Structure 1
Amino acid sequence: METPARPRSQVTPRTVWTVALNVLALVAVLWLLARAWTVLSWVMVALFLALAAHPLVRWMEGRGVRRGAAVLAVGLLGMGLLSALLMTLVPMLLEQARALVQAVPDYVYQLQHRPWVQKLDERYDVIDRIATELRQRIPMTPGPVWGVVTDLLRKLAAVVTISVLTIFFLLFGPDLFDKALQWVEPSRREHWRGLGHEMHRTVGGYVAGAFLISLIGGGVTAVSTLLLGVPYFMALGLAMAVLGLIPFVGAFLGMLLVTGTTFASVGTKEGLIALVVFVVYQQVEGNLLQPLIQRRTLKMNPLLIALVMLVGTSLAGLIGALLALPIAGAVQVLLQDRLARLHEQWRTGKNGVTRVILAPEDQGRRQQPPSEPPLIQH
């Protein structure tokens, strides 16, 4: 009696080696990304700034200025504003920020005398815990000189690198995109070129609009707190400008920071005025500025925005929070294009025809069943 043949395995050694090499390649790519994350973050910030500056460059090109001259003018304008900021506002900002940080524990103790805070503190003992934690974490003396110099040089290198990359993106980004299209099938190049322009228009418009709106919010915050007599108006204005770039969560955090600081440093009346000013400005921003400035930029579901912001923040902190939505907007353009193509395929069928499947009783009535199912051309 012959022994039945054992079934041959469907997994060949070649398949095993292919899967193993693909996994190793993926691990190597992830390792390289982790090692080069600092440089990649600089590149993403430069792209972010280039998208924000592109509308101004395009406006100057529309007035007859050559692209190179327009990029140079925008670069010099940015450098001039940065230099003015460093020479005039930054010392004041640093002084106010240092004073604000050092005054936080005292403000906590001042809040302790409020009746509602006293009731909360009697039950949970939160005031002493917060004050102790802040005093432990806030450095009251400067660190070693070598560490300060190294950190300063690192930040200076980041600023120079990001500035140069931003100019390069503005100058050579379109040519690089055209060169990349040479790898695409000729019949699909125009489609991908239009898709790239749509991504650039949507994401670039959003970035430029977000910058403009955040600067307006920072200016309103600085002026209103200055008029209310808050000694940290410059630091609060800058913090509000940065937080304004973060959808949803940034406005709420800014409200807590501005109103809380005003309450603690000036008084209850001024704190209530700051809260009213903040609420009124948020209504103006949501109902007037955003529809006017970002009327043709990316539109995304609020739940999806919240999820994207959470993922970006968890992966890369503040930079991830700033870049998550533009990246998601670019991905959304690609997914919308793919969805439109799928709908077209579902509507016309895979080969441009629709198959008609007969019921069993109808098939029995046919004299000669065809070798292929009948086709009806659209």
Structure 2
Amino acid sequence: MSVEPRARRVPRWQPELPRLLLLAGGWAWRLLAVGVAVYAAVRILAMLWLVVVPVVLAVLLASLLRPVSRLLQRARLPGPLAALVTLLLAVVVLGGIGFLVQQRVAAQLPTLVDQLVRTVRGLRSLLDRFGAGQFQLDQLQNQVITWLQSNRDQLVNVLQTGAGWLVDIGTMLLLTLFVCFFFLYDGERVWRALLLPFHGRPRERLDDAGHTAWSVVTGYVHGTAVIATIHGVVIGTVIWLLGVPLPVVLGVLVFLGSFIPLVGALVAGGIAVLVALGTQGWVAALILLAVLVAENQLEGHVLQPLIVGRYVRLHPLLIGIALTIGTVLAGVVGALVSVPTAAVLRHTVPRLLGHAPAGEEERSGDEASGTGTDSDTDTDTGADPDTGPDPDTDPGADPDSGSDPDAAAPDRDRAGPERGNGRAGGTDPERVGARRIAARDRRTGS
């Protein structure tokens, strides 16, 4: 029997590409895929802005009002009623401030207009000294009037669009209050519902990252509110002492602007400086400008590090980049939430990856002994400190003893894989996470 010779395989020629080029190509398509995903997510959020913006504002408002709601609950007020009273108090306070601002504007606006007219006349006299004659000034005035007349239809359309925006703003305010009510009343249950699809180690990491994010947002909002109050009171007092009109209005404007880091207080204070220049002259404007610069330095070197520094921990360059990106993507709302969003990412991403950021209080020994941190109680050993371990979540625990079932974790670790679930060390992260979540559920229910 003859054997046919096997066909010889001719190797296919493959060009040898540099390793650096292969590595760059691999990273290029991965970054491209991530960029497309981020762009799609941004486009979807932009389409749903009427829902996304109220939810974000509700998170910030709930983090600011949560202490008031807890105080009312400690006063034996039911949870829903405490949340409702808290929101009503917030609406009354904000409405009172708005009413006061409106009254002051209505009372001092004629005086402000008269002073501005005198200032404009003085500027015209000053321009005459520098060679800008009456003809040039009249020509500039005529150009402004001509532009207004030629764009009258567009201005009308803008006003009509503004009416539609008022409807959208009213809708967002109502939705913000609605969502904030449930965050105040049942925020923990809402969070647990979001965690239902996850189990084991991913659920534990998400739970830790979520509570860390809430702690960061709460600390940032509370600290920023304190700093904004200091800015508003100081600038408003200086404006009142200088005799500049509308001290309350300008103080409130500085207070609101201070919620945007780095630039908010400066922009709002710049408006106050212009008003001082137009009504009281350059001396008052320079004094107010000096106070504003001193306040900005005090915020950057004292207030921010002491009050919100440990929650944010971002370099000023990163804050500036975050502000720019937020402003480009979402305007004023983006500038408002850009810094807390960057701070949340800085603190939560390492926890999602299973790494503990250096220099922070971590859930030390979480995988070894079952202990961990909780945003509400700072420590959580997996059992209610008042009632002891829960026999439902830990069948091996003695319901009559008040000892921590995780106290024997080192013994289980020394016992090796014969005890526990067969892993080295003998600990079961799913049981640890279940005990921890069950203990939080009992505290929330009580």
TM-score after normalising by structure 1: 0.69
Counterpart in 1 of 2:250? 236
Q: How many Å separate the matches in 1 of 2:56 and 2:119?
A: 38
Q: What amino acid is aligned across from residue 335 of structure 2 in structure 1?
A: A
Residue 63 (structure 2) pairs with residue 51 (structure 1): yes
Within a 5 Å distance, the mapping from 1:65-214 to structure 2 comes to 65-93=77-105, 107=119, 110-111=122-123, 150-214=164-228
Counterpart in 2 of 1:277? 291
Q: Give the CA deviation at 1:95.
A: 7.2
Q: How many Å separate the matches in 2 of 1:70 and 1:76?
A: 10
Confirm or deny: 8 A CA contact 1:110 1:264 kept in the other structure.
Answer: no
Deviation per residue, 1:342-365 (Å, 9 max, x gap): 999xxxxxxxxxxxxxxxxxxxxx
Structure 1, 335-344 or 194-203: larger mean CA deviation: 335-344
Q: What amino acid is aligned across from residue 210 of structure 2 in structure 1?
A: G
> Secondary structure in 1 aligned to 2:311?
coil
Counterpart in 2 of 1:38? 50
User: Of residues 293, 297, 304 in structure 1, which corresponds to 2:311?
Assistant: 297
Confirm or deny: 8 A CA contact 1:105 1:134 kept in the other structure.
Answer: no
Q: How many Å separate the matches in 1 of 2:42 and 2:215?
A: 30
Counting matched residue pairs gives 329
Q: Give the CA deviation at 1:33.
A: 2.9
Deviation per residue, 1:136-180 (Å, 9 max, x gap): 67999x969977765544433332222222212222322111122
Q: Give the CA deviation at 1:284.
A: 4.4
Between the two proteins, what is the percent identity of the paired residues?
26
Q: What amino acid is aligned across from residue 99 of structure 2 in structure 1?
A: M
Counterpart in 2 of 1:361? none
Richer in helix (by share): 1
Counterpart in 1 of 2:274? 260
Q: What amino acid is aligned across from residue 89 of structure 2 in structure 1?
A: L
Rate the CA distance shift 1:200–1:24 in 2: closer, same or farther, 3 A: closer
Rate the CA distance shift 1:137–1:322 in 2: closer, same or farther, 3 A: farther
Rate the CA distance shift 1:188–1:70 in 2: closer, same or farther, 3 A: same
Structure 1, 166-175 or 313-322: larger mean CA deviation: 166-175
Q: Give the CA deviation at 1:311.
A: 0.4
Q: Give the CA deviation at 1:84.
A: 1.9
Q: How many Å separate the matches in 2 of 1:39 and 1:31?
A: 14
Counterpart in 2 of 1:216? 230
TM-score after normalising by structure 2: 0.59
Q: How many Å separate the matches in 2 of 1:223 and 1:267?
A: 18
Q: Which has the higher contact order (CA 8 A, sep 6+)?
A: 1
Rate the CA distance shift 1:323–1:343 in 2: closer, same or farther, 3 A: closer
Unpaired runs of at least 5, structure 1: 8-21, 345-378
Q: How many Å separate the matches in 1 of 2:75 and 2:94?
A: 26
Confirm or deny: 8 A CA contact 1:93 1:234 kept in the other structure.
Answer: no
Unpaired runs of at least 5, structure 2: 1-6, 14-33, 359-446
Q: Give the CA deviation at 1:37.
A: 1.9
Q: How many Å separate the matches in 2 of 1:49 and 1:119?
A: 52
Q: How many Å separate the matches in 2 of 1:137 and 1:214?
A: 38
Rate the CA distance shift 1:236–1:294 in 2: closer, same or farther, 3 A: same
Rate the CA distance shift 1:342–1:91 in 2: closer, same or farther, 3 A: closer
Deviation per residue, 1:217-255 (Å, 9 max, x gap): 223322321232212323322321222111111233233
Rate the CA distance shift 1:233–1:24 in 2: closer, same or farther, 3 A: closer
Rate the CA distance shift 1:223–1:270 in 2: closer, same or farther, 3 A: same
Counterpart in 1 of 2:321? 307
> Secondary structure in 2 aligned to 1:317?
helix
Confirm or deny: 8 A CA contact 1:71 1:167 kept in the other structure.
Answer: yes
Q: How many Å separate the matches in 2 of 1:287 and 1:59?
A: 33
Q: Give the CA deviation at 1:310.
A: 0.5
Counterpart in 2 of 1:12? none
Within a 5 Å distance, the mapping from 1:241-252 to structure 2 comes to 241-252=255-266
RMSD of Structure 2 on Structure 1 (CA): 4.6
Confirm or deny: 8 A CA contact 1:111 1:264 kept in the other structure.
Answer: no
Q: Give the CA deviation at 1:83.
A: 2.9
> Secondary structure in 2 aligned to 1:84?
helix
